[in-house]
Copies of this chain bind each other. A is one copy, B any other.
């Protein structure tokens, strides 16, 4: 999805957190929404559904949080960095929980193995944004 950065670079205000990193996070979030939605759908037809309850639930929450994160990051001209920070923080948290649960099933369900990988890429891309100086300042503010 190389168009994402190109799109962001057309926004007259610029992109406070950097268009390359923001584009990477948007694309990772969209992929994660996709893979988690399909993983939950596949879980629902597996024989061992009794073991997959938590995986389904985490995938649903993960898909929804990632979809919102991608959407807010796609509006750089009207970003409230405090809101973005909170949502990225929630996103990293839910992707981490989802990756860990998928990991438990990765050896016997290929959708879980793939989903774990996509979640981990999403964590990295969102954490990279949280680690920027802009957000370090907000974090400090929140803790004060």
Contacts and interface: CB of A to CB of B under 8 A. Distances in A.
Interface of A: 1, 3-4, 6-8, 10-13, 26-27, 30-31, 33-35, 37-42, 44-46, 49-50, 53-54, 56-58, 60-61, 63-65, 67-68, 70-72, 74-78, 80, 82-83, 86-87, 89-90, 93-94, 97, 109-111, 114-115, 117-118, 142-143
A122 to B, nearest CB: 11
Contacts of A142: 142-143
A89 B94 CA distance: 16
Contact of A64 (B30, B49, B68): B68
B44 A77 contact: yes
